Structure 1
Amino acid sequence: MLALLVRDDLGVGGVSREVYVLYRGWSEQLGRGTFPADDSTWQYPPGAGAVILSPALLPWLTYFQAFVALALLADAVIAFALARAGRTDASDRAAPDQDPSPAETSVDPGAGTGIEARPGRGAGPAGAWLWVCGLPLLLHIPLARYDVQVTALAVLALLAVRRRPRAGGALAGLGALVKGWPLLTLLGTPRGRTTRASWASAAVAAAALLGVLALGHTHTLAFLDQQRHRGVQIESLGGTALAVARLAGWPGTVEYRYGAFEFTGPYVSSVARISLLLTAAACCWLLLWRLRARRWNPATPFDAALAAVLLFTVTSRVISPQYLVWLLGLGAVCLTSRHTRQRTVALLLLPATALSALAYPVLYEEVVAGTVAGVALMVVRNGLLLAAALLACRALWTGTRPDRRTG
């Protein structure tokens, strides 16, 4: 990964430019006390500013070197946390202040097989191996984006929330202010004090970080306007549908806008609206699941987080390759518990990850041009993600419904 990052000539090349040009420029502007309000590529919550500024913690290195070093450190933290969790299966131990009702007890769902949970016996190193072997499938992309750092916050939040809900909630809140999606790690927390404590802690942590950033910088919420104007990226599920339509004669074109290649032409706005409607439907489904779920097991928070992020990924107008960093991290957390129902989903992420790197940067010119090979590649990659999302939701729904034999 490091060798590819230094050479940076694979496929379309320019992967590392994100750090030494874009991120470095942002860090200089943030150092002057303002967020990039007039930059269409700045589309991230204000907490991202803290990550962009973090290379300053290593002043003896260049910005690029320091950023990569911190990405590697975050990678090591994730691998260590996953290996440790796999040995102890700490998720087996419910938080001491948890108070589920009789109808919402934490049971070993070993899938209705009657197997009792045995605290202390881990699921083994499968989660750590998924992360360690899966991340390099993205080539050097993870070291030139800040998604590994965000994933570290989400992974640590998930692993902590059951036994230390306030600490887990704080990590999730900080992650949410950096890139939004880590807040979904709290979706599957057991009802009762664990949920109340974790969500309250997340709100306090996010508000505190936002307050600090707002006091020191102007235009803190400028990213909202840039997000609003995003279109349909060519790598998204909607973009794949438009790419297939273009092969069949649709007259649309591809333009570079808002830091990504997007489709323009007839019906693109309709596809964008459909994507937003599907995201809203995903929110409603997750809320319905939460309200109707009755059986919690030690891995339910892990399984729920993976299903939720998969849903928001496949319904998004943008599916960048670094999204797979998030999914690999969450899939790896699921595999640290022997109670998870998402093993098949986690394994599906591996070919999807490899195909994502093949799409960018290796064959990105084919994807942008909309050739048969490029379109076929995106159809298979996005088909795998869609299948993983549907399987994850089915496993989550059936795993938390009451056993018919017991009502």
Structure 2
Amino acid sequence: MMNRPRVTPGPVLALTAVWLATRALMLWLLTHDSARLLGGGSVTREVWRLYVHWYGVLGHGAFPAHDTTWQYPPGAGVVLLAPGLLPWLTYFQAFVVLTLAADALVATALVRAGTRPGRSLLGAALWTGGLPLLLHLPLARYDVQVTALAVLSLLALARSPRAGGVYGALGALVKVWPALVLLGTPRERTTRTAWTWATAGGAAALALLAVSFNNPLAFVREQGGRGVQIESLGGTALNLARHAGWPGRAQYRYGAIELAGPHVTAVTTASLTCTAAAFGLLLLWRVRARRWSEATPFDAALSAVLLFTVTSRVISPQYMIWLLGLAAVCLTSRYTSQRPVALLVLAASALSSVAFPMFYREVVDGTWTGCLLMLARNATLAAAAVLSFVRLWRSTRPSAGNTVPAREPRPDSDRLQDRALSVS
């Protein structure tokens, strides 16, 4: 039996210290949320006003039907009810505690993955140092919990496709996009197992929620009615058009600041068309891909979520939490093709914080400062999406003169066994 190489504790202890220090800073920012530069209370308002309201409705056994701000799959109800497990705290306090716990879970999972033979701690470092770029926003949204399910799904796939599929399905029931993490599963057995268990696990969880709560699909109607959020690519184009005489205006609808006026419907249609085209590109990649490495599922997940993000009608700041988590998973593997993409995600996260909450009034008013900030953030995201897909495509195509068929990455246990046999 081969002994696993010992991991020096230094880097892990350093990451732990940085995590504790940065999360303490994020908590300090949270307590000073009312400061003008931190949004004047707009960041935490969603928890103590909106989430608390939904908690009361969900506590009576129903999803918030006819509430235009409720646009989330039924699994979100479980996350929003979870603070009730800590009755000695206020809802806000309990929510923050559980969010920090999910954050710590992601960091721990990335450290464990990064300390395996042939892996890297860069992923854990990116998550630990990258999340604070969003200031205190991650502590006041439930996207950290969703990202935790997506990260666990990807990291579990190689060792247990069943668990990976179930985690992905549970994440999709909370906020749809984690379904994309299964796009890059290796062909044949792994794909069949992961997708079968995802379907079965998702169906079972959905049935349980449908039995436990009324109106489980109420979110579909409200999601379909959304327009163009001011922070999306289409919203940035319309905001710039205001300087050329476009008569539209910003207004609060469906829980976000959207743009209303002429041609908004056309921009919405164009956005949905681009999303469909992105999905088509991802399917084409899946069909044409011929080489899989241990990093391919990670790279495909990041590329897919990036493409769906930049073509969305809504690019809220918390979307960056998803991208940071997926980029971190990519960097746990030395075979990833997404290292430059991860740097762009970090840059976009920093720009997002400058736009919201620091200068969000400028964005809403459509000033040149606000427009240029959003243009910089969205251009960085668009560049990341294009670069990500191109590098994913190239990494899974056979080299010149090489027609190696697609195959599943071999489990670590098989590789270690081969090494042991070669030594003996």
Normalising by structure 1, we get a TM-score of 0.91
- Look up the match of 2:118: 121
- Show the 5 A alignment for 1:71-110: 71-88=99-116
Contact 2:118/2:334 (CA < 8 Å) preserved in 1?
A: no
Cα deviation per residue 1:367-403 (whole Å; 9 max; x = unaligned)?
A: 0000000000000000000000000000011111111
2:252 is paired with a residue whose SS is: strand
Matched, 1:6 2:31: yes
- Look up the match of 1:296: 292
1:131 is paired with a residue whose SS is: helix
1:142 is paired with a residue whose SS is: helix
1:384 to 360, 380, 383: 380
Contact 1:12/1:364 (CA < 8 Å) preserved in 2?
A: no
2:364 to 357, 361, 368: 368
Cα deviation per residue 1:211-247 (whole Å; 9 max; x = unaligned)?
A: 1111111111000000010000000001011111111
What code does the residue aligned with 1:65 have?
A: Q
CA–CA separation in structure 2 for the residues paired with 1:386 and 1:250: 24
1:254 is paired with a residue whose SS is: strand
Cα deviation per residue 1:315-335 (whole Å; 9 max; x = unaligned)?
A: 000000000000000000000
Structure 2, unaligned stretches of length 5 or more? 1-25, 404-424
Query: By how many angstroms is 1:11 displaced?
Result: 2.9
- Look up the match of 2:47: 19
Contact 2:290/2:398 (CA < 8 Å) preserved in 1?
A: yes
Return 240-249 or 35-44, whichever deviates more. Answer: 240-249
Contact 2:58/2:64 (CA < 8 Å) preserved in 1?
A: yes
Query: By how many angstroms is 1:4 displaced?
Result: 1.6
Normalising by structure 2, we get a TM-score of 0.87
CA–CA separation in structure 2 for the residues paired with 1:245 and 1:182: 34
* RMSD of aligned alpha carbons: 0.8
- Look up the match of 1:253: 249
1:152 to 126, 148, 151: 148
Query: By how many angstroms is 1:7 displaced?
Result: 2.0
Matched, 1:200 2:160: no
Query: By how many angstroms is 1:203 displaced?
Result: 1.0
Matched, 1:357 2:353: yes
- Look up the match of 1:102: none
2:228 is paired with a residue whose SS is: coil
Structure 1, unaligned stretches of length 5 or more? 89-119
1:321 to 301, 317, 320: 317
1:14 is paired with a residue whose SS is: coil
What code does the residue aligned with 2:72 have?
A: Y
2:85 to 44, 52, 57: 57
Stretches of 4+ aligned residues off by more than 2 angstroms: 11-14
Instruction: State the structure with bigger RCO (CA 8 A, min sep 6), 1 or 2.
Output: 1
1:338 to 334, 338, 348: 334
2:251 is paired with a residue whose SS is: strand
Contact 1:12/1:365 (CA < 8 Å) preserved in 2?
A: no
What code does the residue aligned with 2:262 have?
A: P
- Look up the match of 1:113: none
Query: By how many angstroms is 1:189 displaced?
Result: 0.4
Matched, 1:210 2:238: no
- Look up the match of 2:417: none
CA–CA separation in structure 2 for the residues paired with 1:149 and 1:126: 21
What code does the residue aligned with 2:31 have?
A: V
Contact 1:12/1:363 (CA < 8 Å) preserved in 2?
A: no
1:127 is paired with a residue whose SS is: helix
CA–CA separation in structure 1 for the residues paired with 2:243 and 2:134: 28
Matched, 1:222 2:247: no
CA–CA separation in structure 2 for the residues paired with 1:386 and 1:24: 35
CA–CA separation in structure 2 for the residues paired with 1:146 and 1:401: 37
Query: By how many angstroms is 1:357 displaced?
Result: 1.0
- Show the 5 A alignment for 1:276-315: 276-315=272-311
Q: Identity of paired residues, percent? A: 64
Matched, 1:161 2:157: yes
CA–CA separation in structure 2 for the residues paired with 1:14 and 1:305: 31
- The number of residue pairs the alignment matches comes to 375
Cα deviation per residue 1:28-51 (whole Å; 9 max; x = unaligned)?
A: 100101100011000000000000
1:399 to 374, 395, 400: 395
